[in-house]
Amino acid sequence: MDEFVKQSLEIVKAQAGIRPMTEEEMTSMVMKMSSSLKIASDIGSGMAGMDESSPELQSDPRKVIKEKSITCLECGKNFKVLTKKHLASHDMTPDEYRGKYGYKKGTSLIAKGLSKARRKKMQEMELWKKRGPRTSK
């Protein structure tokens, strides 16, 4: 029997000891838990991003830049901004990261929503307009 199924059975057995469960509930819970434990094990052993969603991410890395987050393709974590400090933890610079995953040179490693909010704020500030003459007191 699979190691993950055994672990799931132990967890479900403990849960069934606390509250009554039907056979269908137990079976469903064992199946869900064993697959979750397998995914967690894969992530823990360095196979992060190898679940069902990863093929689409690996085929087009631009899909990881979403409205509210950007996913690091090295570790699979979500951020609002992929900072130099975070990429340094993977021994990469932002330019190396862009090159490795096929981003264009000027691609921002920032969530779309945050980028839009910053752009709007800068437009409201109108920093490009010259200020009128200053009056001294």
**Is the whole model's pTM more than 0.75, yes or no?**
no
pLDDT, position 134: 66
What's the pLDDT band for 120 if we cut at 50, 70, 90? very high
Distances from the Cα of 108 to the Cα of 33, 39, 51, 58, 114, angstroms:
37, 30, 26, 18, 11
Specify burial of residue 135 (Cβ count, 10 A radius: 0-12, 13-18, 19+). exposed
| 87 compared with 10, residue with greater pLDDT | 87
| 122 compared with 51, residue with greater pLDDT | 122
Domains annotated for the chain, with CATH where assigned, are 3-44 (no CATH), 54-125 (1.10.10.1550)
Per-residue pLDDT tens digits for 39-91 = 777 766 554 444 444 444 454 677 888 889 988 888 888 899 999 999 999 99
pLDDT, position 135: 65
**Average pLDDT value over all residues in the chain:** 79
Tokens coding 7: 């672990």
For tokens 């064993």, what's the residue?
34
Tokens coding 126: 């109108």
